[in-house]
Amino acid sequence: MNVAFVQPNFQTGPRHLNAFYLPYTVGILWSYASQYPHINENFSVKHWIFRRDPVEQVVKQLADCEIVFFSLYVWNREYCFKIAKKLKELNPKVYTVFGGPDLPHRNKNLFDEFPFIDVAVIGEGEHMVYEILDQYLIGNRPNKHRAHAPRIRDLEIPSPYLTGIFDELIAAHPDIEWMPTLETDRGCPYKCTFCDWGSLTSSKVVKFGLERVFAELEWFSKMKMPFLTMTNANFGIFKERDILITDKIVELSRETGYPSGLGVSYAKNSNKDVFDIVRKFQEVNIQTGFILSLQTTTDSVLENVKRTNMNINDVSEIANYGRSLQLPIFTEIIMGLPGETLESWKQNIKNILDAGLHNGIDAFLLNMIENAPMVDDIEKYDLKTFAAYDMFYETSDSLEESDRVNETIQVIKSTSTLTVDELLETIIYTWFVIGFHIHGISDIIAIYLRRAKNVSYKEFYDKLIDQLRKDQNIIEWENKIRHAYLDWHNTGIFKLDLIGLKLSSWQVPNSMSLIMHQTNTVDHYIDIVKDFVISNYDIDADIINDYEVLSKNRIKQWGRYNITPKQICTKTTLFDFTQNLCYSVTNEQQQYLIADRYNQFPTELSQHIDYVIYGRRKMWVLNVVDKL
Ligand code: SF4
């Protein structure tokens, strides 16, 4: 009997790579079930649906299967529903089984609203898929049935990679850059209300055997898969074990070149141990960045979302430690959490910069995920949302417009403490600060003023933003973003074409820099900041001169690449001071070598822009400045 597994995803990363995820989640369901001989002998997998091909085409493929298993997440739910609906129309006998984090299982009318679902699996699916297949063989095919899977305490599950489940799929698509997913443990001990992971896995973190993990890593290297995504919610939480896994990845990368890139979430209350891991990756040039998923620094908001972060003093300590090791640290924050205000948001940004975190900030709008506990807080915090159809992070859809199926996510629009306008102001404020500070236009001088003259980041950026709002370009860009954002509430599709740049909603907070690179105005805005500082602060001419020289050379600008490193001279120790390498700025001449960080020199402006946005966590846009 033929079965099929459906776990479609978008293409990921820069378009030219043609990269897709291997459908690991459904792969492991089958590797578990097929270890039983009677399942393996009686069923065979006819199709793995891993990408969003045209619906009609997929439905035809699936129509001669006995059972089709769907794994739902926010990025594929509507697409899967459409397939299942049409599939049932074409062949009502196909037995459909749905699971995954986005299954709306709390809906009492689940089977009425989604009549194409025969079985809804709630929880971890491996054993349940086995049982469904086992029962199917003896003619037991319950319909409109909710199957509650207990938590799996023993992850002795054969690996879908090592059992060869994906071999045919890989061989059939030699043009695809496959992205494997590594699961070393399962679960999260936290219960942040905006996330479905902690509540889904009921706290306890269960581990896969180390031998299996190592063998999978060897397989990825053997298959020459460059980018590895790890599913861990808190990598580094098991200190000794996670260091062993790190060592294995590093060893393979050094010996074979694979993996060369890694996506991972580190332990929340990160400590110095996690740095050891990041440092090891860094040694073989795997740039994972050290990401502090703060989400907010506002105590009352942390309480509202039941999240425990390290306190901000510890964050400062971690930032200092990272700097001493020359490891960049990135920060993730969420806009629109319950209880946040415009002022507390500005304070968040100030806290982050005060803690010495200047390398990267990613700011996201709060999404209401189907099974996240926050849906129970909607009334309490007056959470108003709108349906967005375009919230897929770093993804793209290669389908023609007519074949596209919009995925829907509820995105925050206002809360009891943030009106629609205030939330928009939050986004715009973040757009300014990330664009100017994080992408290297104003950080050197802002850090100098903070440390040498006690000018707070909040005061500096409030004033600078007022000044920038007199610039004709900025006025136009800001207006267009405001318009696009408000339209988005009504249409669900964010449409913004700014000077030839088609921006997605998730790119907006980071888009100031893209716009400047696109319009070749980086130097112009450094000049504006320079004039602003001269008119507002008492500042030495040599310092302002050095700020200009350093900033204009440190930013990697289109058409002005440092194919060979370039030497520059400054009149003061300003740069060392901003890097915490000295306690005051003195008038001593300094020589620096400015070198490209990755020796990547795109030949098209559009590629340059792509690298600025996709390489933001690797500081792609900033050259390395080394003292001679
Ligand atoms: S946000 Fe992270 S730490 Fe919080 S519950 Fe989800 S996975 Fe766990």
User: Do 228 and 375 belong together in one domain?
Assistant: yes
Query: What CATH number has the domain bearing residue 101?
Result: 3.40.50.2300
User: Do 114 and 34 belong together in one domain?
Assistant: yes
CA–CA gap between residue 276 and residue 243 (Å, rounded): 8
| 3-state SS class at 110 | helix
Instruction: Tell whether ligand 1 has an atom less than 6 A from the beta carbon of residue 190.
Output: yes
- Which of these, 277, 306, 311, lies nearest to 189 by C-alpha position? 306
User: Do 215 and 81 belong together in one domain?
Assistant: no
Which one of 127, 148, 169 terminates a domain? 148
CA–CA gap between residue 402 and residue 343 (Å, rounded): 43
**pTM to 2 decimals?**
0.88
- Per the domain annotation, does 566 fall within a domain? no
> What's the pLDDT score for residue 405?
84
Q: Name the residue with the closest Cα to ligand 1, atom 7.
A: 233
Q: How many domains does the chain have?
A: 2
* Atom in ligand 1 nearest the alpha carbon of residue 233: 7
Express each pLDDT in 40-88 by its tens digit. Answer: 999 999 999 999 999 999 999 999 999 999 999 989 999 999 999 999 9
Where helices occur in 261-415 by DSSP H, the ranges are 272-283, 299-304, 312-324, 342-354
User: Do 269 and 316 belong together in one domain?
Assistant: yes
First to last CA, the chain: 69
Average per-residue pLDDT for the chain: 92
Q: Cis peptide leading into 259, omega within 30 of 0?
A: yes
**Does an H or E element contain 61, and which?**
helix 55-62
> Can you state the percent helix, strand and coil of the chain, rounding each to 5?
45, 20, 40
Q: Rounded to the nearest 10 degrees, what angle do helices 239-256 and 272-283 cross at? A: 10
Structure tokens at 34: 């097929």
> What's the pLDDT score for residue 121?
96
- Per the domain annotation, does 326 fall within a domain? yes
- Per the domain annotation, does 33 fall within a domain? yes
Query: Tokens 């979302």 — which residue?
Result: 305
Ligand 1: which of 268, 304, 337, 366 to mutate, most ligand atoms within 8 Å of CB?
Answer: 268
Is 323 or 27 the better-scoring residue by pLDDT? 27
Backbone dihedral region of 559: left (phi > 0), alpha (psi from -120 to 50 degrees) or beta?
Answer: left
Which one of 382, 405, 439 terminates a domain? 439
User: Do 128 and 192 belong together in one domain?
Assistant: no
Query: How far, in Å, from the CA of 234 to the mean position of ligand 1?
Result: 8
Q: For residue 270, is pLDDT > 70?
A: no
Q: Name the residue with the closest Cα to ligand 1, atom 4.
A: 192
Query: What CATH number has the domain bearing residue 435?
Result: 3.30.750.200
User: Do 128 and 71 belong together in one domain?
Assistant: yes
* Atom in ligand 1 nearest the alpha carbon of residue 196: 6
Ligand 1: which of 195, 237, 292, 305 to mutate, most ligand atoms within 8 Å of CB?
Answer: 195
User: Do 142 and 187 belong together in one domain?
Assistant: no
Which one of 439, 472, 503 terminates a domain? 439
* Atom in ligand 1 nearest the alpha carbon of residue 191: 5
- Domain range for 317 is 183-417+425-439
Instruction: Tell whether ligand 1 has an atom less than 6 A from the beta carbon of residue 192.
Output: yes
User: Do 139 and 202 belong together in one domain?
Assistant: no
DSSP letter at 149 equals P
- Per the domain annotation, does 213 fall within a domain? yes
Tell me which amino acid residue 1 is: M
CA–CA gap between residue 431 and residue 557 (Å, rounded): 20
**268 — phi, psi (to 5°)?**
-60, -55
- Per the domain annotation, does 487 fall within a domain? no
CA–CA gap between residue 504 and residue 486 (Å, rounded): 14
Mean local confidence (pLDDT), 492-512: 91
Query: How far, in Å, from the CA of 190 to the mean position of ligand 1?
Result: 6
Contact 536, 463 (CB under 8 A): yes
DSSP letter at 267 equals P
User: Do 232 and 139 belong together in one domain?
Assistant: no
- Per the domain annotation, does 504 fall within a domain? no
User: Do 212 and 341 belong together in one domain?
Assistant: yes
User: Do 104 and 191 belong together in one domain?
Assistant: no
**231 — phi, psi (to 5°)?**
-85, -5
Mean local confidence (pLDDT), 397-401: 62
CA–CA gap between residue 329 and residue 497 (Å, rounded): 31
Q: For residue 578, is pLDDT > 90?
A: yes
Q: For residue 431, is pLDDT > 80?
A: yes
Where helices occur in 492-540 by DSSP H, the ranges are 511-518, 522-536
Express each pLDDT in 247-266 by its tens digit. Answer: 999 999 999 999 998 988 88
DSSP letter at 584 equals S
User: Do 223 and 124 belong together in one domain?
Assistant: no
Q: For residue 311, is pLDDT > 80?
A: no
Express each pLDDT in 198-222 by its tens digit. Answer: 666 556 889 999 999 999 999 999 9
- Per the domain annotation, does 222 fall within a domain? yes
- Per the domain annotation, does 91 fall within a domain? yes
Q: Find the range with the poorest average confidence among 199-203, 289-293, 325-329, 590-594.
A: 199-203
